[in-house]
A and B are shown apart, each in its own frame.
Chain A
Amino acid sequence: MLKNIKLTREQVFFLVFIGTLGNIVYCHTWIDDETDRAAWVAAFVGILLVIPFAVWIMYLGKSHQGETIFDILESGLGRFPCAVVSAIYILINIAVAVAMLNMFTQLLKAFFYPYTPVWVIMLFLVLMAVLFANGSFKVFARTVELLSILGLLNFIVSFSFAFPRYIHPKYVIPIFDTSLLGFIKGTVFMTGAASECLLLLLVMVSFIPDPAKHYLWVVKGLVFCAAVFSSAILVIIAMLSPEVAKRIAFGAVNAAKLIEVGDFLHGLELFVYGTYQFIAIGKTTICLYCAWTAAKKMFNNWHPRVQLLLTALLIFLPAVWLNSYIKAYQLAVLLSSYIILPFCVVILLLTSITVLLKKKNAGSSSK
């Protein structure tokens, strides 16, 4: 059934966009002490540096169209080693979703629903993710298209009211007031954070028609994401100053709170909150879908719906148990710094070796 799904260029574009904008939306402030005013440049370059890895995945899918990276890996490594790798992949996806759920929920609690229990908000989000994942991936991709455009419009329209009154160019200049080492550290962290999209691409490559030929779909999504995200950081810095922005947990919401339109509209944070909500729902669904896909493979497609609910529960329970913005932030920093990108690189190396060996074997057997 899965093999029949083929995504369009726009769907791939927006899935990559949402897939990249995960925990990076919150944990980007981690680099501010290193990068200072160049944080937005580090974000731009950091996201762009994910492109080679994304293209690598697309090329691995060239000779195995309609298969996920794990399918390719299993054909080379065998069932048990692939199950181990899949288990790690599931755990990483759960961890990403847990961090995202906690950070978004705490945003909601800080500004809008201080007395609503976290489990209610998280249940709402996880159920929505189950609903999307349970349907066709194609339908989810269409929803992502719609929500991404809505989220972007929300964001752009809100911050368009910030010009020129709330924008202070003096906060942005000089752009590079940091050391080269600090800038590189920040950029590498952003690459690690943005490589959440690689987790999606490991599975999504099977839905892209002729992935090696259409690698530009993914590249364009990443470039767009880099441009949007870095300009969002630039606007926040220009509004709040880097000194204040780096201390704030929810930069865009705080910046939008400052904007006044006439005497009656004080603060546009509600619009920006909408964007954060779309990102949270999209990202949670993506993590759930990726973890579920790997789980289905591990358990040989045993009762997929039960597995979906169990995976959702595996996201929901630790998220409720964690129940802390700071801990979720630290988890996101840990994942971005040390886990996601190295894991993806190891997977890609193993898969590349598998593909090469298979080609070699095919060549020698044909002789």
Chain B
Amino acid sequence: MKKRLLLLLVYLALALTLPGCWDYVEYENITQVIGMGIDYDSKTQETTISIQFPALKKRTGGSETTAPSQWIVQSATEKTFYGALTKLQETVPNRLFLGYLKVIIIGEEAAKYNLMDTIDYFDRTPSLRSSANIVIAAGKAEDVLKTIRPDRGRPASDEIHTLIHGSTESGAAYPVTVNDFIQMLAIGGWEATAPRVSSVAAKAQQEDTKGGTQESIRANEERIGSQRVAGLAAFKGDKFVGWLNEKESMGVGWITGKKMHAYKVSEPAGGVGAEELYYHVTDSNSKIKVRLVNGLPIIDVDVKVVADLKKYSRGEGADFLSAEAVSDAEKKLTDNIRSDIDAALIRGQKELNTDIFGFGFAFFREYPGLWQDKYEAQWANIFPCIPINVTVHAKVINTGSNISKLIIR
């Protein structure tokens, strides 16, 4: 009994003292990277990595807790991705910690010429959450990261993160995580997309940035402006091939069955206020079916949308919203969705020749053997020519809180 007790005590002593000592780190001794930007210069073939992190300082009054006093953006340029990262670490006193990384911004040129270095790094780094969002910057990622809105007092990464998740409201873009992006790269017959972010600097601030530069390391630069998340970046394999505007992005969303809690706006057909319909989409889904006719794949896309009518006229039109008026509104919604889908298909299939809709993946699910034996290798050549039939069923089930318009007497 005594021996067992001794063994237990020795064991407990070891268990309590040995593990954890090597990995113990104070909160203020790590640099919590919340946003990262990756740029590439195709002329110099250099990679620039920018990181955003809080400068922590101890609160006064004896408390040991810390709070961010300001948000720092630091950049370093080197020949390789890892070289730039190492250089960055040299300028930051604490160990870089990616566990809180929310947003990864990839510059347009990096997306075009050097995407895999970035993806490979994120794919292999266990501390990074694969639920972090990926966005593609129109222009340089560094500019987006160092743009701050003075009225919000939030770091660019936080702002972009909120904008990405808010983009589903309008359907202009949708969130793509690191894991989603890697899945789209890994799965055959499904090309990757990612939301587009752009930044606009305030006129007076356009060339006037604070901070300093030393031997390809730039520290604490910032510019006043704001970011916008709208549209999608389309890829073919690991190469960025072009942008999709908001209408085309919505079309991709309809085809791929993205749940957008969006207001769908029908464009005014006549003069100002003549015909303007606003919808709130409550449910949407799509089914992609693949048929083989004489060896040629034919894609059938069936989109179903359920919406509430939020506004049906601006002055003109019937006082009472009749069943015919609702049917008319349904038809207009159907036509509008159809035009979004057509725009997306023209852009993706005919202009960019990239299967961002996942039709190839749908083909594989329908005919796995045929896909593996024959069509997978030829899909890039077949895809631009395949006929795609689209049917849209839109249903307006609700007209908001009233059934007739407000008449001012």
Contact = CB atoms under 8 A, between A and B. Distances in A.
Interface of A: 110-117, 120-121, 123-124, 127-128, 130-131, 134-135, 170, 173-174, 176-177, 240-241, 243-244, 247, 254, 257-258, 260, 266-267
B23 A240 contact: no
A39 B177 CA distance: 26
Given A244-B182, A244-B183, A266 B131 contact: yes
A340 to B, nearest CB: 30
Given A135-B4, A177-B364, 5 more contacts: A124-B15, A127-B11, A174-B365, A174-B368, A176-B368
B271 interface: no
Contact of A117 (B22, B129, B368, B372): B22
Given A258-B179, A267-B129, A134 B22 contact: no
Interface residues of B, number: 30
7 contacts: A111-B127, A115-B22, A131-B11, A177-B369, A243-B186, A254-B130, A267-B129
Contacts, number: 76
Contacts of A130: 7
Interface pairs A-B: 7 shortest CB-CB: A177-B368, A243-B186, A116-B22, A115-B22, A110-B126, A120-B18, A113-B23
Nearest to A108: B19
Given A134-B4, A174-B368, A267-B131, A113 B22 contact: yes
Given A258-B131, A266-B131, A267-B131, A240 B19 contact: no
A257 B15 CA distance: 27
A244 B179 contact: yes
A139 to B, nearest CB: 11
A72 to B, nearest CB: 32
B8 interface: yes
B20 interface: yes
Nearest to A170: B365
Interface string B122-147: 00001101110000000000000000
B386 interface: no
Interface string B362-402: 00110011001000000000000000000000000000000
A114 B23 contact: yes
A244 B182 CA distance: 8
A257 B372 contact: no
B14 A115 contact: no
Given A113-B23, A257-B129, A131 B8 contact: yes
Contacts of B126: 110-111
A114 B23 CA distance: 7
A112 B22 CA distance: 11
A112 B20 CA distance: 10
Nearest to B100: A266
B187 interface: yes
B14 A124 contact: yes
A192 to B, nearest CB: 27
B19 A116 contact: yes
Contacts of B14: 123-124, 127
Contacts of B361: 170
Nearest to B3: A305
B65 to A, nearest CB: 18
A115 B23 CA distance: 6
Given A128-B11, A243-B183, A254-B130, A177 B372 contact: yes
B130 A258 contact: yes
A176 B367 CA distance: 11
Contact of A120 (B8, B11, B19, B188): B19
Contacts of A113: 19-20, 22-23
Given A116-B19, A123-B18, A243 B131 contact: no
Contacts of B177: 258
Interface string B183-204: 1001110000000000000000
A241 B7 contact: no
B131 A124 contact: no
User: Which of A127, A130, A241 has the largest number of chain B CB atoms within 10 A?
Assistant: A241
A170 B361 CA distance: 9
Contacts of A170: 361, 365
A267 B179 CA distance: 13
A7 B188 CA distance: 51
